[in-house]
């Protein structure tokens, strides 16, 4: 018989951990959130949310009675039968996932009262990790700990909706009863539950992200060809998306994908395959297309402006996508550094990411509002499709810009409207 422990533990209160903990509390569970960062835990204890995610502060406040924040691993194992692991697994220099934080948790287990527990892996770990950890758990002198793979499919900016209304819940287990207990935590959610073994669950996560990244690189290549043959990729994508086998999502051409997941996971899957001796050709192309796509804007600017030396370019948006302050692997970083490499001055405005941007885009003049960013510029590049940019103050912009050129890196603007305001407009593949 399993113990009387009532709570659900979450170890690693980064982005995934905090969203998972808060949403589990919203589902009615008592959640103990643990992180080694004492400052962060103190902040959260006072109701301050250290990340930008729409709706999260409100949901945290609503569920505060069911949530405890601690730095003690002991508390978690004392009070929780089911313990989620959501520590980060950043890429190493080889492109493999760095599992040191996962193993740090493992190494602390022998000192704890781990009688009957279920460890649920939320972090994305290479296929095979779960079986390795299960073997290690069996070897360590701990009580009985079952291991479950339960990958997350959370998008930044819509993570709460993704958790509460998921397309599917994936549970990989060896022990049916342990899997049932984890599945029961989600019983209020209406979603298909895929029950499988651990490596299959791990692979579902990588294969999903790699497929989505492939869709993006594919449509970006179509866009590049569209430019040569006079076709419009936005309508091509609409036409393709109506085919149910293709579907309308993730077919927005632009200046490449970024973020903390796609680039890391696609590279990791390539390595996972490589480590088995398999050369995953398609993924190499997906990665390369994405790298080149970030740089294509530079050529578009050169085509209109000639050499970029001493030209001033404004970037609208720095975050890797709208509704997040996250700059990890953002296309803006590569673009800004390419432009500065060509001798251009770069200014930038982002509705949310400016306070976090100084280190990521060193040398870029960060502005507090859109008009200060575009003042005196030879061109504007729309990098992130924030709602705020849907209705640009075109007349005011034209008056204060040096040259009326807009490169729309996300095909977000209405070309006719922009041209009618006296601008030269260029999108991606249209």
Which residue's C-beta sits nearest to ligand UDX?
261
Smallest gap, in angstroms, from Cβ of residue 411 to ligand UDX?
Answer: 10
261 touching ligand UDX, by CB under 6 A: yes
- Give the interface size with ligand UDX as a residue count (CB under 6 A): 19
89 touching ligand UDX, by CB under 6 A: no
Of 74 and 291, the one with the shorter C-beta distance to ligand UDX is 291
53 touching ligand UDX, by CB under 6 A: no
250 touching ligand UDX, by CB under 6 A: yes
CB-CB contact of 332 with 294 (8 Å)? no
258 touching ligand UDX, by CB under 6 A: yes
| Region 300-329 residues binding ligand UDX, contact defined as CB under 6 A | 320-321
15 touching ligand UDX, by CB under 6 A: no
CA proximity to 114, closest of 136, 144, 83, 84? 144
Smallest gap, in angstroms, from Cβ of residue 296 to ligand UDX?
Answer: 13
Interface with ligand UDX (CB under 6 A), residue from 153, 199, 240, 403: 153
Which residues make beta-bridge pairs with 380? 314, 406
The whole-angstrom separation of Cα 114 and Cα 271 is 34
409 touching ligand UDX, by CB under 6 A: no
The whole-angstrom separation of Cα 301 and Cα 239 is 29
Pairing of strands 169-173, 144-149: antiparallel
Residue 226 is a catalytic residue: no
26 touching ligand UDX, by CB under 6 A: no
Interface with ligand UDX (CB under 6 A), residue from 251, 314, 352, 397: 251
Smallest gap, in angstroms, from Cβ of residue 260 to ligand UDX?
Answer: 6
202 touching ligand UDX, by CB under 6 A: no
103 touching ligand UDX, by CB under 6 A: no
Smallest gap, in angstroms, from Cβ of residue 125 to ligand UDX?
Answer: 13
Interface with ligand UDX (CB under 6 A), residue from 79, 152, 408, 426: 152
257 touching ligand UDX, by CB under 6 A: yes
428 touching ligand UDX, by CB under 6 A: no
Active-site residue list: 261
The contact set with ligand UDX (CB under 6 A) reads 152-156, 209, 212, 216, 250-252, 254, 257-259, 261-262, 320-321
């Amino acid at each position: 018989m399993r113990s009387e422990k009532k709570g659900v533990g979450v170890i690693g209160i980064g982005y995934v951990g905090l969203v998972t903990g808060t949403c589990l509390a919203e589902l009615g569970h008592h959640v103990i959130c643990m992180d080694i960062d004492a400052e962060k835990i103190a902040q959260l204890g006072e109701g301050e949310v250290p990340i930008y995610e729409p709706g999260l502060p409100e949901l945290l406040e609503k569920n505060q009675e069911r949530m405890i924040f601690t730095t003690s691993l002991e508390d978690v194992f004392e009070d929780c039968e089911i313990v989620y692991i959501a520590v980060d697994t950043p890429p190493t220099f080889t492109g493999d996932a760095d599992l040191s934080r996962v193993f740090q948790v493992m190494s602390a287990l022998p000192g704890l009262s781990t009688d009957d527990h279920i460890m649920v892996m939320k972090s994305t770990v290479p296929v095979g990790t779960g079986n390795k950890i299960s073997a290690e758990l069996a070897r360590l002198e701990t009580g009985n700990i079952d291991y479950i793979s339960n990958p997350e499919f959370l998008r930044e900016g819509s993570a709460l909706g993704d958790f509460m209304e998921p397309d599917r819940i994936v549970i990989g287990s060896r022990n049916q009863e342990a899997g049932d207990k984890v599945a029961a935590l989600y019983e209020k959610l209406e979603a298909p539950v895929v029950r499988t073994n651990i490596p299959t669950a791990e692979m579902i996560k990588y294969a999903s992200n790699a497929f989505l990244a492939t869709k993006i690189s594919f449509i970006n290549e179509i866009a590049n060809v569209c430019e040569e043959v006079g076709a419009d990729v936005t309508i091509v994508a609409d036409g393709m998306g109506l085919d149910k086998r293709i579907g309308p999502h993730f077919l927005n051409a632009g200046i490449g994908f970024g973020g903390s997941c796609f680039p890391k996971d696609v590279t990791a899957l390539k390595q996972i395959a490589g480590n088995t001796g398999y050369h995953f050709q398609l993924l190499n192309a997906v990665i390369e297309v994405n790298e080149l796509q970030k740089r294509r804007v530079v050529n578009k600017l050169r085509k209109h402006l000639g050499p970029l030396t001493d030209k001033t370019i404004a970037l609208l948006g720095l975050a890797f996508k709208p509704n997040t302050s996250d700059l990890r692997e953002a296309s803006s970083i590569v673009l800004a550094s390419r432009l500065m490499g060509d001798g251009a001055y770069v200014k930038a405005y982002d509705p949310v990411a400016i306070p976090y941007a100084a280190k990521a885009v060193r040398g870029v003049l960060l502005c507090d509002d859109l008009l200060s960013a575009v003042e005196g510029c030879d061109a504007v590049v729309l990098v992130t499709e924030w709602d705020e940019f849907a209705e640009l103050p075109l007349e005011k912009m034209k008056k204060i810009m040096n040259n009326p050129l807009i490169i729309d890196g996300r095909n977000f603007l209405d070309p006719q409207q922009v041209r009618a305001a006296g601008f030269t407009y260029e999108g991606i593949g249209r």
